[in-house]
Structure 1
Amino acid sequence: MSPNPTPHRRLGLAAGLLAALLTLATLRGPGLTIDEPLDVRPGRDYVALLQRAGWRFFERANVDALFRDNAEHPPLGRWLLGIASKALEPFEAWIFGPDPTGLYVLSGRVAPALAFAVLVGLIAAEAARRWGAAAGIASAWTLLVMPRVFGHAHLAALDTFLGLFWTLALLAAARAVDARRPLPVMLAAGVLWGLALLTKIHAWFLVPLILAWALIRLRPAKALGLVSAWGAVGVLVFVAGWPWLWYETFPRWGAFWGTGVVRASIRVEYFGRIWADRDVPWHYPWLYFAVTVPILLHVMGAVGVARGWRERREDPFPALLIASVLLFLLLFSMRVPVYDGERLFLLVFPAWAMLAGFGFAAAWRRWGAFRAGRAALVGLMLGQAYGAASMHPFGLSYYNLLVGGLPGAERLGLEPTYWGDAVDRLLLDELARRVEPGEVVALAPTLYPGQGVATTTAALVRRDVVIRDESAVPEADWILVSRRRAYWSPELVQRLADPSARRVASRGRQGVWLSGLWKFPRTQRPSPDASVRAVDRIDEDRRGSLVDPGPKNQERPTSRD
């Protein structure tokens, strides 16, 4: 470790700025995902109530009303989304036009994009501090060009926040244990762990990792004392930061823990079969970990694991990173609910990126002294960006060559897409160009009431069209289809098989369609008196001005007429 941390901080700052630039510049690409309205709306409600009520925000009546319908997750991530959505709403309305749903999800996406930039900078600085500049650069680059990680950084959801706060808490606690005066540093690390707890339930699993690390590095009595102090601070921050737990603390805390096990089952397509999330085979997380990262980055990670094992006595820190990865892969192998590919264990990839950087540093030390070796290593690492670049904005559909890319995954019966991001702005613009006023448009599949309304754009509302949920499939003139086949209803399958149905546009990558727009002939046109104008069908609290949403991207959906 270098005694002068300044170069490492500068490297971290540069890496973070690059990540911020690339992510913010491509933020509009993905379509609205399933969870984004469910996370942005509560955050906006938090901010609105705080602005309106001030200190009365914390009164029980307000707390109960505000958190009752969204207590399945702690509030920190939603606070960040709400702050970004509210603060940047005027700029989004000015540049792209007002959002008719009133959610301003695009503005909310800025928060996870910036969190991702901080995360990239964090692992760059920490890897460089421990192992040198080559490791820091390679760690940051590895995380930045992981297609699914980069894809999640564009989405107004909680997973990127969890990756940041988990990694921050892990690295801070590891450094605190080794500090010259560990107690004050450990207390500060406890605050960071509290922030991770306030993001998602996964953060509780940091306790066994930090306890084991402290017991390895310190005398047992001292280790237990420090970890107890760290844990007490973290729990205090967790409770203080979530007013829902201030009242009926123990029943509500118990109910929160129950959300991880008592919940509606989610269906998963895996090797051509539809599974309930608890019944998915044990190898599901291992396979998705293996096939959603470019292969050379996995090779570098494996070199880092081998080097870490070989040098474990001199530097045990890589073993902590390895343990943090294995913890969640093992956890999600144990018949707990697991779905959405890599999403539930997305937080392991920063540690894996650091291990890849550690492995790259070994290769650089061996071959970097030669011009040809340097050129080969740099070229190979730069080439790993191809997956993220070629798949954008559908990075969540990336598969590596272990399964033959996205076409191979399709043949194997793996999910081509799972979160609705392929029903993007370009496909919706194509629908707005073709649809006639008053025609019925359905989105399928939908996983909660109002998902179709949340997907409606200003261009559609100007055509007097609001997208309806999957229940409208039998009567729809148009159907927007996301290729999440585990949730395709028999009615949807029947309508798509109708010879009169035409797929007029689609979105996809590598020759695989991920979303499509189907047109059906109208057999009976409803009378004008029977239809309700689109602006009246949008909830009052989500209503906005209806103006041009801004210029279209030059890329067009694949047309089939």
Structure 2
Amino acid sequence: MSILRHQSFAAAGLVGFVGFLLVIATLGEPGLTIDEPINAHHGKLIVSTLTAPGGTLAERVWFIWKSAHDHPPLTRLALGLANGLTDPSPRDTRFVDPFQSRWASALMYGLLLFLVTRFAWSLRGPAAGWSAGIATLLMPRLFGQAHFASPEVISAAFYLAALVSIGWAIGPLAVEEQAGTKRCWWRCVLAGGVLGLALLTKLTCILLPASVGIAALAVLRWRALLPLVIWGATGLLVVFVAWPWLWPFNFPGYPSGLAGSLARVVEFLRVAFDRATVYVWYGGRQFPHPKSAVPWHFVWTYFLVTVPIGLQLLGLGLGLPRAIRMMGRTPAASANGERLGAALVLSAWLLPLLVFTLPIERYDGERLFLFIFPLWGIIIGLGAADLVAWLRPRLGLKWAASLMVLLALSQAYGIVHDRPYWLSYYNLAVGGLRGAERLGLETTYWGDSLTPAFLNKVAATMPEEACAILVPTLHDGHAVALPNHAMRQSKQNVVPAHLGAANGCGWAILFRRDGYLIDPIPHWVMEHGTLEAESSLDGVWLSRLYRLPPEPLPGRRAP
């Protein structure tokens, strides 16, 4: 058993390291996304302010979070630390290169693959571990998200780490021994620390206590109550201690002491649940109005069509039934923790899908629920272990292993073919990207199609010192940070679309976000502009450069 444990750590480390290297090798290929300038700037601001000499702690905390407390701090702190690795001016917050902060997501992606492989191995052995890690690595959209200076992959890694740690903490209770019960308490404190870190990454991690509670109570009954209380209380304590914005400082506009802390908690939750409406293109329609207007099946559709079809069949056909069977009341399953582990994975995977089916805000496809894909990778690994167990006595170990390798290679097509437009991946269930376009699904949504390679075309096409508007402009900072080295050398400027007329811009850089393309400015640009350059995948255009006529731009529609 000890040898197998060492092998599982070695295998998990190898899968994680390979995934990290693959992301690093392609880190600069996808374009700058809408949110990266915000995340990277705030991350650099946190690190530079906290490490700068002079000023009280309260003054520094107020300076950092007075205008940017809509997200927990851990992901942006990680991005700021990653930026400091290569930034020649780590204290100068006037300019931030988001590409330098992408290292944080790449590193956490490697950790995520490590956890997936190790946890699946602990549940069903080597075949499940290897298969789960490789399956997760072969999910194009998750792989693509690992390239960005954003919270999603970092949060997903901590989400899974918190799940694994609570399984480790209360696992002894699955064996009805007094010694196991005694070990549980201090383990729950440690696992609560990991839960606190997860809660400090993204608001969606509040689903974790609910999913863990459902699974633990279903398997362990009343024995899980006190350990879960210890776990949750420790997690909340870590959130309070590690986020200075919540401390009882006397800030302008807030009550003093702990009343101010409570007011800031309430404000954070209000802002987090009441964000600006984002237009969604789904089923060939724009959904711009109430946040609940996007159909309930939006989440299920994107879950089903953004993972390679072979992996989906393996997960749905074998993995999901195996995970359900592992929750059966067998003494062996209880003794080795399989039942609890399967329950934790199923609950943490299914509950978010059900929650996002409710009439709440839904947008940006898989990014909304990215943290469930590693859990789905574990479920796929369980199914792969059953497939190997069925093939081995019939074909022998050598041929069974060869067949699994061929299966993995066939599922790697999306990673290779869609490079670097991984966020535009759709599987064969909808006919790939072209089929998704015909069905009215978003071909791309986050600006990543404005790749450095495409911007080099832009720099070569526009004259020196030319000005281009960014269409659509969802955040002004996205336009300001967009020009790459080639454009800056040519002194070419990019401004938000609504400032184009004031700056005399004669060009438009357009990335495809179909929910906005029917709005006045994008529609006018495509109708009256002259197409000069384009990037595409499978015949579907994803970004374009237009030369604009001298006529004034139409009015901008208010969001």
Instruction: Report the TM-score when normalising by structure 1.
Output: 0.88
TM-superposed deviation, 1:172: 0.8
Q: Describe the shift of the 1:45–1:440 C-alpha distance in structure 2 as closer, same or farther (beyond 3 A).
A: same
TM-superposed deviation, 1:90: 3.6
TM-superposed deviation, 1:438: 3.3
Name the residue aligned to 2:358.
334
Cα distance in 2, alignment partners of residues 320 and 523 from structure 1: 60
1:221-247 deviation per Cα after TM superposition (whole angstroms, max 9, x unaligned): x42211111111100110111111113
> What is the CA RMSD across the aligned residues, in angstroms?
2.1
1:473-517 deviation per Cα after TM superposition (whole angstroms, max 9, x unaligned): 55532111011021233133123212xx32221112111111111
Name the residue aligned to 2:271.
259
SS of the equivalent of 2:286 reads strand
Name the residue aligned to 2:371.
347
Name the residue aligned to 2:233.
232
Name the residue aligned to 1:272.
284
Name the residue aligned to 1:527.
none
Pairing partner for 1:494 from 476, 501, 524: 524
1:283-327 deviation per Cα after TM superposition (whole angstroms, max 9, x unaligned): 000000000000111112121111122232233222321221111
Letter aligned with residue 172 of structure 1: S
Name the residue aligned to 1:244.
245
Instruction: Report the TM-score when normalising by structure 2.
Output: 0.88
Cα distance in 2, alignment partners of residues 57 and 388 from structure 1: 49
Name the residue aligned to 2:142.
149
Q: Superposed, which structure 2 residues align to 1:208-219 within 5 Å?
A: 208-218=210-220
TM-superposed deviation, 1:459: 2.3
Cα distance in 2, alignment partners of residues 227 and 3 from structure 1: 32
Q: Superposed, which structure 2 residues align to 1:521-532 within 5 Å?
A: none
Cα distance in 2, alignment partners of residues 230 and 10 from structure 1: 29
Runs of 4+ in 1 over 6 A off after TM superposition: none
TM-superposed deviation, 1:522: 5.7
Q: Superposed, which structure 2 residues align to 1:102-141 within 5 Å?
A: 102-141=95-134
Cα distance in 2, alignment partners of residues 251 and 478 from structure 1: 46
1:180-217 deviation per Cα after TM superposition (whole angstroms, max 9, x unaligned): 21111111100000000100111111112222333234
TM-superposed deviation, 1:334: 0.6
Correspondence 1:377 to 2:401: no
In the alignment, structure 2 segments of 5+ residues that lack a partner are 173-179, 249-259, 553-559
Name the residue aligned to 2:298.
284
Pairing partner for 1:298 from 299, 312, 317: 312
Pairing partner for 1:168 from 157, 161, 171: 161
Letter aligned with residue 115 of structure 1: M
Name the residue aligned to 1:461.
488
SS of the equivalent of 1:29 reads coil
Name the residue aligned to 2:555.
none
Cα distance in 2, alignment partners of residues 341 and 363 from structure 1: 31
Contact kept? 2:35, 2:478, Cα under 8 Å: no
Q: Describe the shift of the 1:100–1:254 C-alpha distance in structure 2 as closer, same or farther (beyond 3 A).
A: closer
Cα distance in 1, alignment partners of residues 371 and 242 from structure 2: 22
Correspondence 1:159 to 2:152: yes
Contact kept? 1:442, 1:478, Cα under 8 Å: yes
Cα distance in 1, alignment partners of residues 292 and 60 from structure 2: 36
Name the residue aligned to 1:552.
none
Letter aligned with residue 182 of structure 1: C
Contact kept? 2:472, 2:510, Cα under 8 Å: yes
Contact kept? 1:278, 1:337, Cα under 8 Å: yes
Name the residue aligned to 2:415.
388
Task: Indicate the larger mover: 438-447 or 233-242.
Answer: 438-447
SS of the equivalent of 1:28 reads coil
Pairing partner for 1:73 from 71, 74, 77: 71
Cα distance in 1, alignment partners of residues 141 and 423 from structure 2: 5
Residues paired across the two proteins, number: 513
Letter aligned with residue 358 of structure 2: M
SS of the equivalent of 1:418 reads coil
Contact kept? 1:305, 1:318, Cα under 8 Å: no
Name the residue aligned to 1:20.
20
Cα distance in 2, alignment partners of residues 166 and 150 from structure 1: 17
Cα distance in 2, alignment partners of residues 213 and 461 from structure 1: 54
Contact kept? 2:215, 2:343, Cα under 8 Å: no
Task: Indicate the larger mover: 205-214 or 100-109.
Answer: 100-109
Contact kept? 1:40, 1:82, Cα under 8 Å: yes
TM-superposed deviation, 1:345: 0.3
Q: Describe the shift of the 1:311–1:228 C-alpha distance in structure 2 as closer, same or farther (beyond 3 A).
A: closer
SS of the equivalent of 2:272 reads coil
Q: Describe the shift of the 1:189–1:463 C-alpha distance in structure 2 as closer, same or farther (beyond 3 A).
A: same
Contact kept? 2:516, 2:522, Cα under 8 Å: no
1:453-479 deviation per Cα after TM superposition (whole angstroms, max 9, x unaligned): 111223222222221111145553211
Name the residue aligned to 2:506.
477
TM-superposed deviation, 1:3: 7.5
Contact kept? 2:34, 2:447, Cα under 8 Å: yes
Correspondence 1:205 to 2:207: yes
Task: Indicate the larger mover: 441-450 or 431-440.
Answer: 431-440
Letter aligned with residue 512 of structure 2: R
Correspondence 1:449 to 2:476: yes
Contact kept? 1:36, 1:105, Cα under 8 Å: yes
Q: Describe the shift of the 1:464–1:322 C-alpha distance in structure 2 as closer, same or farther (beyond 3 A).
A: same
TM-superposed deviation, 1:254: 0.9
Contact kept? 2:507, 2:546, Cα under 8 Å: yes
Name the residue aligned to 2:31.
31
In the alignment, structure 1 segments of 5+ residues that lack a partner are 94-98, 525-561
Cα distance in 2, alignment partners of residues 57 and 40 from structure 1: 24
Name the residue aligned to 1:556.
none
Q: Describe the shift of the 1:116–1:122 C-alpha distance in structure 2 as closer, same or farther (beyond 3 A).
A: same
SS of the equivalent of 2:67 reads helix
Letter aligned with residue 364 of structure 1: V
Q: Superposed, which structure 2 residues align to 1:424-443 within 5 Å?
A: 424-443=451-470
SS of the equivalent of 1:69 reads coil
Q: Describe the shift of the 1:332–1:129 C-alpha distance in structure 2 as closer, same or farther (beyond 3 A).
A: same
* Percent identity of equivalent pairs: 36
Contact kept? 1:159, 1:347, Cα under 8 Å: yes
Cα distance in 2, alignment partners of residues 318 and 397 from structure 1: 31
1:374-400 deviation per Cα after TM superposition (whole angstroms, max 9, x unaligned): 322220122111111111111101011
Contact kept? 1:506, 1:514, Cα under 8 Å: yes
TM-superposed deviation, 1:372: 3.8
Cα distance in 2, alignment partners of residues 78 and 191 from structure 1: 19
TM-superposed deviation, 1:65: 2.1
Cα distance in 1, alignment partners of residues 227 and 273 from structure 2: 31
Contact kept? 1:101, 1:454, Cα under 8 Å: no
Correspondence 1:188 to 2:190: yes
Cα distance in 1, alignment partners of residues 535 and 155 from structure 2: 30
Q: Superposed, which structure 2 residues align to 1:542-557 within 5 Å?
A: none
1:339-379 deviation per Cα after TM superposition (whole angstroms, max 9, x unaligned): 00010100001110000001000000110342444322220
